[in-house]
């Protein structure tokens, strides 16, 4: 079910407890902005929740999308200049090759592998040639048993994976992946930060 992206916090509580500004800036925004330039580039924030990441992007080029209508409504109230919409029927209502970047922050660990496979096909369809997916997810790590135990106990996500499993999801659908960083968030969350580009789109670009 697409609603597996969501977790069981009310929008206001989720925004202020799970996504406080200083945590979001330090662990997410600073890393993303140090690796990518978004000037004039269209961005789809997939699983945008309450819109905590929209401030990285110019409102004209940003759309936040989430299956939770309550969070979308809350995000629109908080950030009236940015655009948000409800994700319905596992489909992204965008034309082919219309998006430069797809941002996925702490979303995939709430979604089964079968469901992710469906979205990966949609991402390939809507990404422009040389488009990029930016991913940051909590990640299991053999050398961090305390972090693993804490995440499994605390996090509502049922599908926290290790690094190889996350990357394999994309590689199985013809994406090239690049690991950008591995880090701990607030001491107890081990995070994986990587990008992915569809091989087919890359080949099409090279042949033009």
Q: How far apart are CA 2 and CA 5, in angstroms?
A: 6
Residue 121 CB-density burial (10 A; 0-12 exposed, 13-18 middle, 19+ buried):
exposed
For the chain, the domains span: 2-207
Which architecture does CATH list for 2-207?
A: 3-Layer(aba) Sandwich (3.40)
Digit-by-digit pLDDT tens for the chain (208 residues) are 344 344 445 655 554 545 567 688 999 999 999 999 999 999 999 999 999 999 999 999 999 999 999 999 999 999 999 999 999 988 899 999 999 999 999 999 999 999 999 999 999 999 999 999 999 999 999 988 888 998 888 888 899 999 999 999 999 999 999 999 999 887 788 999 999 999 875 455 454 4
> Virtual CA dihedral for 84, 127, 160, 33, nearest 10 degrees?
-70
Q: How far apart are CA 8 and CA 14, in angstroms?
A: 9
Say if CB 74 and CB 80 are below 8 A apart: no
Helix (H) or strand (E) holding 31: helix 30-35
**What residues contact 27, with CB distance under 8 A and at least 6 apart?**
183, 185, 186, 191
**Residues listed for the chain:** 208
Complete DSSP assignment for 123-174: HHHHEEEEEEEEEEEEEE-TT-HHHHHHHHHH---S--EEHHHHHHHHHTTT
């Amino acid at each position: 079910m697409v609603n597996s992206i969501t977790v069981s916090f009310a929008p206001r509580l989720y925004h202020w407890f799970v996504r406080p500004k200083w945590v979001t800036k330090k662990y997410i925004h600073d890393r993303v902005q140090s690796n990518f330039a978004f000037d004039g580039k269209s961005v789809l924030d997939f699983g945008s929740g309450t819109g905590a990441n929209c401030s990285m992007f110019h409102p004209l080029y940003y759309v936040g999308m989430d299956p939770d209508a309550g969070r979308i409504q809350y995000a629109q109230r908080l950030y009236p200049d940015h655009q948000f919409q409800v994700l319905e029927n596992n489909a992204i209502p965008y034309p082919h090759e219309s998006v430069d970047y797809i941002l996925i922050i702490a979303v995939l660990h709430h979604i089964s592998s079968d469901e992710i496979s469906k979205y990966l096909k949609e991402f390939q369809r809507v990404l422009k040639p040389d488009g990029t997916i930016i991913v940051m997810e909590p990640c299991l790590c053999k050398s961090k048993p305390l972090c693993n135990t804490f995440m499994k106990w605390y996090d509502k996500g049922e599908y926290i994976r290790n690094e190889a499993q996350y990357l394999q999801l994309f590689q199985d659908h013809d994406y090239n992946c690049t690991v950008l960083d591995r880090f701990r968030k607030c001491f107890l969350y081990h995070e994986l930060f990587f990008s992915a580009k569809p091989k087919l789109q890359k080949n099409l670009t090279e042949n033009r």
